[in-house]
Amino acid sequence: MSEPRNWPVVPAGSLDIDLVGDFSCPWSFLGTRRLARALEHLHGVTVRELRWHPLRLLRPDAPGAPVSAPTGWREHLALRLPKGVSVELAESSLAEAGESLGIHFDFARLDRLPDTTAAHRLVKLAAEEGLHGPVLDAIFRAYFEQGRDIGDVDVLAELGAGCGLSEALLAKFRDPQAGYAEVVEDERRLLLLGVNSIPNLLLNRQVFVPGPVDEQIYVKALDHALFPGSGPETKH
């Protein structure tokens, strides 16, 4: 995300949306669906731009990345939970929350925590054809509902084709350097800004919604982004 002084004014009645998350984070998946539901409450509003920002939970290519970082799904989930909350309870709660949003979590299919670098590259490239929204959802569904290996380029290319990405763009995606610098630089800027958890949402570059929240919080945040004087004090 750019520095605020470089941001242009967002036209009235429109939204710029910045989402920060990872494809191995179930709360990021819930957040995208809750945001979509919240947007359904708005009428006459244009989503001018949707930007996806990666913050990978597993960064094997990051300088100084700990070699002991957990790569098993259940081990990883256990480390993200508050003290006293079991993996079983968390998975049950996530599954219940998902069903209300049309998400059918199948945690029994999950084994290893995937390297999501290629998935983020695909989304960066899909933005060139305006299809990053459908690609986002397809990748989340492939992992959390079907247990597919979203670190595999062939799997991702198949998902991209299913979302309508052109053969030329998919051929470009097969180059491991295509979009890679953008993913790493985007993530570096977030870390420098102190963003170290996901999911996060920024609306119209002024209303910040940290962490997993329910749909009504997103509705209120959207109202405040569109009508800055109508809600609580803006968070930066």
The CATH number of residue 138's host domain is 3.40.30.10
Residue 3 inside a domain? The answer is: no
Asked if the structure places residue 42 within a domain, the reply is yes
How crowded is residue 105: how many other Cβ atoms within 10 Å of its Cβ? 20
- Residue 180, in any domain of the structure: yes
CA distances from 24 to 14, 109, 110 (A): 30, 13, 10
- Whole-Å CA distances, 222 to 117, 202, 212, 230: 30, 10, 15, 11
In a domain, 9, yes or no: no
Cα–Cα distance list, 137 to 8, 26, 78 (Å): 28, 12, 25
In the structure, what pLDDT confidence band is assigned to residue 71 with cuts at 50, 70 and 90? confident
CA 135 to chain centroid, in Å, comes to: 11
On whether residue 159 sits in a domain, the answer given is yes
Say if residue 206's pLDDT is above 50. Answer: yes
Q: Which domain holds residue 177?
A: 16-230
Quote the pTM value: 0.86
pLDDT, the chain, mean: 87
Determine, yes or no, domain membership for 132: yes
Q: Is residue 7 part of a domain?
A: no
| Residue 24 pLDDT class (50, 70, 90 cuts) | very high
Considering its fold, how many domains does the chain have in total?
Answer: 1
Domain-embedded: residue 89: yes
**Per-residue confidence (pLDDT) for residue 213, from 0 to 100:** 86
Question: Per-residue pLDDT for 232 more than 60?
Answer: no
DSSP, collapsed to helix, strand or coil, labels residue 200 as strand
